[in-house]
Structure 1
């Protein structure tokens, strides 16, 4: 495990999962929302984002959390040796977007740029939820089915599987000393 792509629908806890995975493995964490957006929520020019993304892909070890853009998504998944697809039931994603919206006024959401506009970003997340579920999630599922023969694939489908994932990773590290 040297290059890990963590992806899935909005509000699935990808940033929290990625942060903990980075702590367990020692792999450097790159959060795409913090690369794609300036503090305060203004978008970074797309060419700058693509350049930074490409620079990360060329490094030896990384965890990349998030979507970014369609243009960078598939090359990232191709480059990764490990895929973590967070595919919780839609109602869980919806609830966690709502929870993040409410708590975001008191504590910045994990993985968001500093001073992100909570209301605007949350409304965007609600719009993305159904679109991702309907159009992108099936493509993710198809991709990981094909990738299982040559990549480590973790398809997380429930909240319980999140903790099982960390137990599995910790056991692999303990038994193989892969960090």
Structure 2
């Protein structure tokens, strides 16, 4: 594991897992939301994002957490091509909706760790719910089949429960 892409639905535990994995491996973590959004919550220019993303995937090792711009699969596909390990967090939708709600409730008192500076927890939560509503069109059985094909020469981990998520680092990092 030297080039690790962590993907999944909003609030599925990608950030938490990626931080644990970075701490356990010493590999630098790149959270895409921190790259994609400016301090005021607005997205950076697409060309700037693509250039930063390309520099990261050209590095010898990395952990990249997140999906990236919602209206572009270009960087997502490039990341999957460059990765040697892909971790797909595929929790049930009921669990993911609960995790979005839990993040919001906690965020009323303390900004979620890694949350882009200046971004509204309320706006972010509404966006997460909107994205979750659309997720079955993308994060579905056909996506998993495509992912399995794209990663046939890589290591693919599919996490389907909070218990698997919680135990991933202890189970997979030596």
Shorter chain as denominator, the TM-score bin is: over 0.9
Structure 1 residues 1-179: aligned runs within 5 Å? 1-69=1-69, 70-170=73-173, 173=174
Deviation, structure 1 residue 110: 2.9
Is the alpha carbon distance of 1:139 and 1:19 closer, same or farther for their aligned partners in structure 2, counting shifts above 3 Å? farther
Indicate conservation of the 8 Å contact 1:9/1:137, yes or no: no
Q: Which runs of 5+ in 1 are unaligned?
A: 174-179
Give the Cα separation in 2 of the matches to 1:130 and 1:138: 16
Deviation, structure 1 residue 99: 0.8
Deviation, structure 1 residue 165: 1.5
Give the Cα separation in 2 of the matches to 1:121 and 1:139: 27
Give TM-score, length-normalised by structure 2. Answer: 0.92
Give TM-score, length-normalised by structure 1. Answer: 0.90
Can you list the C-alpha shifts for 1:54-76, whole angstroms capped at 9, x where unaligned? 11011010000001032211110
Aligned-partner SS, 1:131 = helix
**Shift >4 Å, 4+ stretches:** none
Q: CA RMSD in A?
A: 1.4
Can you list the C-alpha shifts for 1:3-51, whole angstroms capped at 9, x where unaligned? 0000011110101110111001111000000000012311111111111
Q: Which runs of 5+ in 2 are unaligned?
A: none
